[in-house]
Amino acid sequence: MSWVKVMRRFAVLPGLTAGLLAGMLVAAQLKRLSGAPLDPQPASSRFDLERLSAAELETLALDALTRLSEKRGAASSEGSAGREGPDPRQIHLGIENVRRLLPLGKKLTLRALAAGLKTDGLSRERRLIASVRRVVFDPRLGDSAEVSEGDLTTIRVGPGYAAFLTSDDESILLLGHELTHVAARGGRLQHLLEGVSRVASQSAELALDEVQKEELACDFTGAEVLRRYIALRPTGRASAERFASAFGYQPRSERLAHAWQDFCTSYNGDPADEEHLSLAQTFRLLPRLNPELKSLIPEDATSSRLCR
C-alpha cells in the first residue's frame, strides 16, 4: 500500500473572471467578423458587462470556460505527448534539497504531532520517523510523492513534483506530510485523524473515508510544520505568501495562464485524485484546526467554485 501526496493544486479564483469573460466576448466578436455563424441572440437577452455582479460574471465565465475545456479535451491529450518534461537539473536539485532538509523536517514534524496530540509520549512515532533515511527519485510517480508500507525508510518523489522542491518551503511541506504518514503506522495517531475528520464534518459537511482522514491529517501536520519553518527561517517574502505558495496557490499574475492551459484541473486540482481535498477545501479547514493558520491563507484562496 502506498500513500500518495499530489501537490501543485492550483486554483483559479473569482478575481480573474471579469477579465476572462471580457476576453471571451472579444473572441466572440472576432468570430462574428470572420463570418462564422453564432447562435442568434435577441436584443432583450443581451447584457451589459459593467452591470453584472461579481457572482454573475463568475457564473458566465465558468460556463464558457467549462465548454471551452470540453472542446479542447481531445486536442490537449493529443498535444501532451509533445510537451517537454521537467528540467533534469531541477529534479536533481529538488531531490537534494529534500535530503538536506530531512533532519530538520523530522524535528519539526515531531513537534507538530506532539502539539496536535497534546502529548510528548511519542516514542514509537519518534522511532518510525527516525527510520526514514532516504529520499529517492521515482520516475513512475509523475507529479506526486509517496511512502509505502513495504518500505517506511524511503520517501519517493516523481519528476513533476521534484522540480518544485528546490523551494525549501515546498520541501518542508512535503516532509511534514510524508513523515506523518510514516508516524501513523505506529497506530497512535487515531485521535488526530478523528479530530480532523470531525472538523471536516461539522464545518464543511464532508464525510471522509479512512484514506481521506489520514490525508487531511497529513496536510494539517504539514501545514503546522511549514508554519514553524517559516517562523524559524524568515526571508524577504511575506509569511502568508510563502505558506500559500508552498501549497500551490498562485498570485493573480500567474493564475490566468495556468487556467487557460487546463481550466478544470487548475480550478479544482487533479480530477482523478479522490484521496485529497481540493486546495480551497483544505484552506477552508486548516484555520478551523488551528486558528493561527488563518493569517497565512489568502482570503480568495477559499472561494473557488467547482467545475461543472
In a domain, 166, yes or no: yes
Give the pLDDT mean for 28-49.
Answer: 45
- Which tens digits make up the pLDDT trace of 147-182? 999 999 999 999 999 999 999 999 999 999 999 999
Residue 214 within any structural domain of the chain: yes
Q: How confident is the model at residue 302 (pLDDT cuts 50, 70, 90)?
A: confident
Residue 16 lies in a domain: no
CA atoms within 13 A on the CB side of 242: 23
* CA-closest candidate to residue 222, choices 143, 112, 122: 112
Rounded Cα distance between 308 and 306, Å, is 6
Maximum Cα–Cα distance for the chain, whole Å? 74
Q: Is 146 helix (H, G, I), strand (E, B) or coil?
A: strand
272 φ/ψ angles, rounded to the nearest 5 degrees: -85, -5
Q: Is residue 58 part of a domain?
A: no
In a domain, 71, yes or no: no
**Residue 49 counted as domain residue:** no
Put simply, whether the predicted model's pTM sits higher than 0.85 gets the answer: no
252 alpha carbon, distance to own chain's centre:
16
Residue at 29 is within a domain:
no
Q: Is 70 part of a structural domain of the chain?
A: no
Per the structure, the count of domains in the chain is: 1
* Residue numbers of the domain that contains 147: 2-8+87-302
Span 227-285, pLDDT tens digits: 999 999 999 999 999 999 999 887 766 665 555 555 555 455 555 556 678 888 888 89
